A and B are shown apart, each in its own frame.
Chain A
Amino acid sequence: MFTGNNQMELEKFSAFHDAAHREGLLFFYSGYFSQNIVAAMADAVRYRLKIQPAKSETLRKVFSAFVEMSQNIVHYSAEPITDEAADDHEMRYGTVSLGQQGDSYFVACGNPVSLDEAPVLKEKIDRIRVMTAEEIKKAYRERLRSESEQGSKGAGLGFLTLARDATRPINYAFEKLPSDATVFFYLKAVI
């Protein structure tokens, strides 16, 4: 029962909160991503996961997926508020969520990417999606041994790390945005 002087607004917020809880959402953030924000979120997520009734190995993988996805947004979202060419102290727009789904956990993220980047991402992930667990491990090791790929601020290991930790093929979607310059890229890993 709601009482107070601003019932309508808070009822909406309450409905949002309840729906999130019902859907098993453990963490959700939408806004600008920087390393400091990732560090603070990682801290919150660790506490949230600590009390989850799952194997610690599973929870570690969930944490790993969360960090990989959040740092991807810091590095690659097409909506930076810092200098486009920067590779440190970056701040970019995106969204990340983490929750429980049946017996599994999921980590999902989204951020705008350029029209040119979208097919590159699609091809990269499609290639990994059809791999068996053994093939993913093999590709991961090959990538570890090779020189870093161009345009990668990490090691080109990010998607393979997600795929290695996930129990199902990683999922993605692209959504057209009103602006012509970018599309919204969603990625989800189930662990």
Chain B
Amino acid sequence: MDDFYVQATPTSPEIDFRFSSNTLGIRGESYPENAAAFYSDAIRQLRLYLATLGATHVEINVELKYFNSSSTKILYTLFGMLNDCVRQGNDVTLNWFHDEEDETILEFGEELYEDFGELNFRPTAVSAA
């Protein structure tokens, strides 16, 4: 399956899904005008990729500076898909990078952890630039 890449813009993140090495990345800002439209291709590709997996270790790195409410909803869907894929016999590590002073993003990460307990959730504080 081909890797999937979308370049970052000032209001949307870089999406770097390296399916060939089971490493996924989402980095940057996330407040596109229409989050559902922005993420739809990425979600579709991810769904196809996850369906092919078996006993695989997947690593996802999420490093978002800010995400708006509609992006929050999409991210929640995305992590739900990863959580389901653990139930299919895979294991997923979610590296959740957040600004050390950003409680909102850390809190959201913790909520994800409560709802999607199958994910190996690793919050990592990074110092503000």
Residues of A at the B interface (CB closer than 8 Å) are 35, 38-39, 42-43, 55-57, 60-61, 63-64, 67-68, 71, 74, 87-90, 141, 144-145, 148, 153-155, 157-158, 160-161, 165
CB of A90, distance to nearest CB on chain B (Å): 7
Q: List 23 A-B contacts (CB under 8 A).
A: A35-B11, A38-B33, A43-B10, A55-B101, A56-B128, A57-B103, A57-B104, A68-B68, A71-B68, A87-B34, A88-B34, A148-B73, A154-B35, A154-B68, A154-B69, A155-B35, A155-B69, A155-B73, A155-B74, A157-B70, A158-B69, A158-B70, A161-B69
CA–CA, A103 to B31, complex, Å? 28
Closest to B128 in A: A56
CB-contact partner of A74 in B33, B37, B69, B128, under 8 A: B33
CB of A120, distance to nearest CB on chain B (Å): 18
CB of A46, distance to nearest CB on chain B (Å): 9
CA–CA, A68 to B32, complex, Å? 11
Residues of A within 8 A of B102 (CB): 56-57, 60
CB-contact partner of B115 in A56, A71, A145, under 8 A: A145
